[in-house]
Amino acid sequence: MTDTVLTPDICVIGAGSGGLSLAAGAAAFGVEVVLVEKGRMGGDCLNYGCVPSKALLSSARAAFARNGLVDEPLGPDFESARAHIQATIAAIAPHDSQERFEGLGVTVLRGGARFVDQETVSVGDRLIKARRFVVASGSSPLVPPIPGLDQTPYLTNETLFEDLRPKPDLLIIGGGPIGLEMAQAHRRLGSRVTVLEAGRILSKDDPEHVEILRQHVKSEGIALLEGTHVERVEPTDSGGVIVHVATEQGMRAVTGTHLLLAVGRSPNVDGLDLENAGIATDKRGIRVDASLRTNNRKVYAIGDVAGGPQFTHAAGAQAGLLLRALLFRLPVKFTADSIPWATYTSPEVAHVGLGLEEARRRAGAVRVLSVAYDGNDRARTDNQTIGALKLYAGKGGRLLGADIIGAQAGELACLLSLAYSKKMTMRDLAGFVAPYPTLSELVRRAAISYYAEAPANPWVRRVVAILQKFG
């Protein structure tokens, strides 16, 4: 090993969303940063996750608009989707590239990082003794211990986009966001699709809204087998797959040409030798406190590997907080409640703040303010009337959370996420002015309904009557 030892202020392990944001932010203030990445710059989001999946969804929507629902894979549309995904990644990649970050003054090392001791990391033949380390190594698709899986061909989100080809009969294990997004995308590109879910689909989202999505997805011909336990899998002679499942009606065999695993993510901790640095972990990943610090005071962790919400925007938010702590010595506290999420099916499903049951547990009395899309003029003009929005109002009308299903639910969540983070009330949301006609009026209309009983309040009526006497 060379005697060369790098001594930056910050060493970031992982060039995904969180790691890149942190490295760029620190470098902008003239802080010396070493960034380590053993895989592709941009991490999962750019190469295997958010970017290619949303590009595929966009292509699938276009194919659905042209062709309607068909029962055979549309070869030209798959080629178009593949080209769109590749072009989208290529357009974004320079922003995440090694060249750009070296231009920002960041030292980029390509290779696997491992802790040698509590204050040293090695990358190949290089040693790094930084003042602070930030582990942002992300996560990988979880491969469950299903009997027969080691002899059966299967896909994950990482391999799905490496060679995008028509899949006549796609089986998906997992009814979470990835599973449902890919189910609808492939169905609209002509595949027959079956989703196998042990519990219920989108288990973290509002049950009433999930039921709306469930019926819509079924209407497109996607088979949803919920409450289904996968017992074993096996390959067919033709290169396909058979999944043996246990249902309430008994055992059943489901056959398909392709199998996609979408059952969650596993933190990338293998190979880091965290034990050499005394860093504690559990099944969720690296243990951190509210300030994102590990039990090793020189080491922090952000993003998927830190065991919190596994979203690109969560990693970015944590990077922003950590910059404040590392550069300006400001106290920071990350709370998972502040992270919204969206599933980009049609219709979209989004969530902000606390769910209804959690809001009731914490705040006691909670008012649910609900409005339907079919009462919104923009939804009517766009013929997108499937959906609803719920606001959860606590004491004094404070916004405690929200659930949305419908067109542009993810965009509506942006406004509500800001309102939640700033502790706004129904008065604030009822008072903002939205351009007409927009879906944002749904938020204002729901907030106004908080005051629907005011005209009938005898004390309010008396005040109005008294004021009228003064002219």
CATH number (domain holding residue 201): 3.50.50.60
CA distances for 349 relative to 154, 155, 204, 387, 410, angstroms: 28, 25, 11, 9, 7
Same domain assignment for residues 12 and 130: yes
Closest C-alpha among 446, 462, 438 to residue 392: 446
314 and 207 both lie in a single domain = no
Of 268, 273, 277, which is closest to residue 302 (Cα–Cα)? 268
Tell me 105's DSSP state.
Answer: T
In a domain, 80, yes or no: no
* Contact (CB, 8 A) for 286 and 305: yes
Checking DSSP bridges between strand 169-173 and strand 139-141, what pairing results, if any? unpaired
- Give the end of a domain, one of 337, 359, 374: 337
CATH code at position 445: 3.30.390.30
CA distance 469 to 270: 77
Closest to 181 measured CA to CA, from 295, 57, 15, 94: 57
**Is residue 428 a part of any domain in this protein?**
yes
Buried b (16+ CB within 10 A) or exposed e, 322-336: bbebbbeeeebebee
- Domain, as residue range, for 249: 149-263
DSSP, collapsed to helix, strand or coil, labels residue 468 as helix
Residues in the chain: 471
Task: Say yes or no: 208 and 164 in one domain.
Answer: yes
HSE-CB for 387 with a 13 A CA cutoff: 27
Residue 175 dihedral angles phi and psi, to the nearest 5°? -110, 35
307 and 326 fall within a common domain: yes
75 annotated as ligand-binding: no
227 within some domain: yes
36 and 104 belong to one structural domain:
yes
Quote the CA–CA distance of 344 and 295 in Å, as a whole number.
Answer: 37
Residuewise pLDDT in 10s, the chain (471 residues): 445 899 999 999 999 999 999 999 999 999 999 999 999 999 888 988 899 999 999 999 999 999 999 988 888 888 999 999 999 999 999 999 999 999 999 999 999 999 999 999 999 999 999 999 999 999 999 999 999 999 999 999 889 998 788 999 999 999 999 999 999 999 999 999 999 999 999 999 999 999 999 999 999 999 999 999 999 999 999 999 999 999 988 999 999 999 999 999 999 999 999 999 999 999 999 999 999 999 999 999 999 999 999 999 999 999 999 999 999 999 999 999 999 999 999 999 999 999 999 999 999 999 999 999 999 999 999 999 999 999 999 999 999 999 999 999 999 999 999 999 999 999 999 999 999 999 999 999 999 999 977 666 676 667 667 767 776
In a domain, 379, yes or no: yes
Q: Is 65 among the domain residues?
A: no
| Residue where a domain terminates, one of 337, 370, 389 | 337
Query: How far is the C-alpha of 204 from the C-alpha of 332, rounded, in Å?
Result: 27
Q: Is 396 annotated as a binding residue?
A: no
Annotated ligand binding at 274? The verdict is: no
Cα–Cα distance between 13 and 37 in angstroms, integer? Answer: 6
For the record, the structure tokens of 60 come out as: 């699938």
Give me 134's structure tokens. Answer: 């930030």
- Structural domain includes residue 178: yes
Q: Is residue 340 marked as binding?
A: no
Number of domains composing the chain: 3
Are 172 and 260 in contact, with CB atoms under 8 Å apart? yes
The verdict on 271 and 134 lying in the same domain is yes
Nearest C-alpha neighbor of 266 from the set 111, 117, 139? 139
Same domain, 127 and 168: no
Examine residue 365 and state whether it is found in any structural domain, yes or no.
yes
278 annotated to a ligand binding site: no
The answer to whether position 283 is within a domain reads yes
Please tell me whether residue 156 adopts helix, strand or coil conformation.
Answer: coil
Q: Are residues 389 and 286 in the same domain?
A: no
Q: Are residues 29 and 127 in the same domain?
A: yes
Whether residues 232 and 352 share a domain: the answer is no
Q: Buried b / exposed e across 412-440, counting CB within 10 Å, b at 16+? A: bbebbbebbeeebbbeebbeeeeeeebbb
State which of 295, 316, 337 marks the end of a domain.
337
Q: Give kind and range of the element (H or E) at residue 151.
A: none
Q: Are residues 327 and 360 in the same domain?
A: no
The annotation status of 178 as a binding-site residue, yes or no, is yes
179 assigned ligand-binding residue:
yes
181 is an annotated ligand-binding site residue:
yes
Q: Is 197 annotated as a binding residue?
A: yes
177 is in an annotated binding site: yes
Environment class of 313 (CB within 10 Å of its CB; exposed 0-12, middle 13-18, buried 19+): middle
For the record, the structure tokens of 290 come out as: 């509210």
439 annotated to bind ligand: no
- Nearest CA among 445, 450, 314 for reference residue 376: 445
Say if CB 303 and CB 136 are below 8 A apart: yes
Distance CA 197, CA 228 (A): 6
Tell me, yes or no, whether 130 and 279 share the same domain: yes
